[in-house]
Structure 1
């Protein structure tokens, strides 16, 4: 990100496509059911396709399509399979890393598993707790991203991790945490949650930023600027949904360890 007074050459295109993406996503969250499941499965499939293309740019294109199909089916089927098949269904994508070059298999296995698990986590959140909890999670990520973008552009300052993500600044990172906290505070009363929601929002924002850094590491490893060119102004779906993937993974792990949703007295 540039320093104070930096220009916003990509802001108009970024904003327009961002609004369209948000409208589609929020609409699917509201409708829920098969609509949201289909969107989550499609996004997971396309993200895995982008990942495979990045890790094996010289490979056969049908391999990337195959991996995308496996990811999409895994997300779509996870809710309808009994234990332990539901778990095996989710981790199946990691086994398909064997079709990629040996040096990229571990990266593909870990990142693709994270994508599929995060997508399943969001479907479970929407199905189990209704649209408003999914709105909360999505808006935490959006607020963190937007606050970080503008604060980093205006204030600049020391870089957060220049070797991996050269545009990310400490000012943008902290602003992202504050934006997420504001979303958590705003959702406390509508969701009937206590102050713990603010803390969860900040940690979810940190997880979202970790997802962004992880994707930046993959792109830097493969010397590419964007995951793809599917989304004007944003690059690929991984470039847009890396943060939501990290936040959804955090929420999934949190629910394995603590009661969710947090009670009003929490």
Structure 2
């Protein structure tokens, strides 16, 4: 096992610790503070998307601001009115950005809906279940990172994500399931929470793979250089996008929080 495989670990840990501190403070505060934090993150991710698509500076800034404002406004609107507000920046991006318009529209919609889903989890179910969602994504990412580098083995999709291995992928599922098992014991939830947690870990990995495929298609390494050791916010929160969108959909299929009586 070469030292090069772990060369960025210190930087990644330091940046990750800062992100955890800011995120934990926002989750703990909840309410308007959390809404603003999520909206800011979504706006920056759309700005990064515009930069990757070579949009003019004014366009990328405008779309980022519009997406952040739309996510923030949507949480205060009735659901029927929130949906067109959330999707409006995606339509605007399709009209204003010439390169990869379909990709731009899809990812903008994904970011907006995922941000809305995160705010909904915190508002409707409380800090504990928002922390569960974050913990599953983080556990999946950390378990996959260490298992992939320590165990190696066959690649998951080398053409799109050269470093992602099957050992890391499966370890991510186990990490997510372990979080679910721990919380199931603490809350009295049933085994269904473990299954949902594994599915959330899978969805987080899908978000990561989708973002990797987009970067490979566009010929860029990172979405930006905002976060040392991690790239940009879109690089760091791609898993949360997939997980949050999954939870938004899963709420319509299973009782949420899973295994916990209302």
TM interval, shorter chain, is over 0.9
SS of 2:5's equivalent?
A: coil
Partner residue in 1 for 2:76 = 80
Match of 1:149 in 2: 145
Q: Offset of 1:5 from its aligned partner?
A: 7.2
Deviations for 1:119-158, whole angstroms, at most 9, x for unmatched residues? 0000010000000000000000000000000000011000
1:99 aligned residue: 96
Residue deviations 1:74-109 (CA, integer Å, cap 9, x gap)? 1101122234211111111211121000x4111011
In the alignment, the residues of structure 2 paired with residue 181 and residue 16 of structure 1 have an alpha-carbon distance, to the nearest angstrom, of 26
Q: 1:35 aligns with which of 33, 38, 41?
A: 33
CA displacement 1:7-40 (0-9 Å, x = unmatched): 3100001000100101110111011011110110
2:22 alignment partner in structure 1: 24
TM-score w.r.t. the length of structure 1 is 0.94
Match of 2:239 in 1: 243
Task: Identify the residue that residue 220 of structure 1 maps to in structure 2.
Answer: 216
Aligned to 2:174: 178
Structure 1 residues 150, 242: closer, same or farther in 2, change over 3 A?
Answer: same
CA drift of 1:264 comes to 4.3
Question: How far 1:71 sits from its partner (Å)?
Answer: 0.7
Alignment TM-score, normalising by the size of structure 2: 0.96
Which residue of 2 is the match for residue 47 of structure 1?
A: 45
Could you tell me which residue of structure 2 aligns to residue 14 of structure 1?
12
Q: 1:178 to 1:69 in 2, by over 3 A?
A: same
Cα distance, 1:83–1:6 mapped onto 2, change above 3 Å: closer
The yes-or-no answer on 1:199 pairing with 2:204 is no
Counterpart residue number, 1:169: 165
- Which structure has more relative contact order (CA 8 Å, sep 6+)? It is 1
Change in Cα spacing, 1:13 to 1:6, as seen in structure 2 (3 Å) is closer
C-alpha displacement of 1:194: 1.2
Moved over 4 A (4+): 3-6
| d(CA) in 1 for partners of 2:31, 2:120 | 10
Is the alpha carbon distance of 1:177 and 1:224 closer, same or farther for their aligned partners in structure 2, counting shifts above 3 Å?
same
**How many pairs are equivalent?**
260
Q: CA deviation at 1:114?
A: 0.5
Q: Give RMSD over aligned pairs.
A: 1.4
- In 1, the alpha carbon distance for the partners of 2:186 and 2:105 equals 38
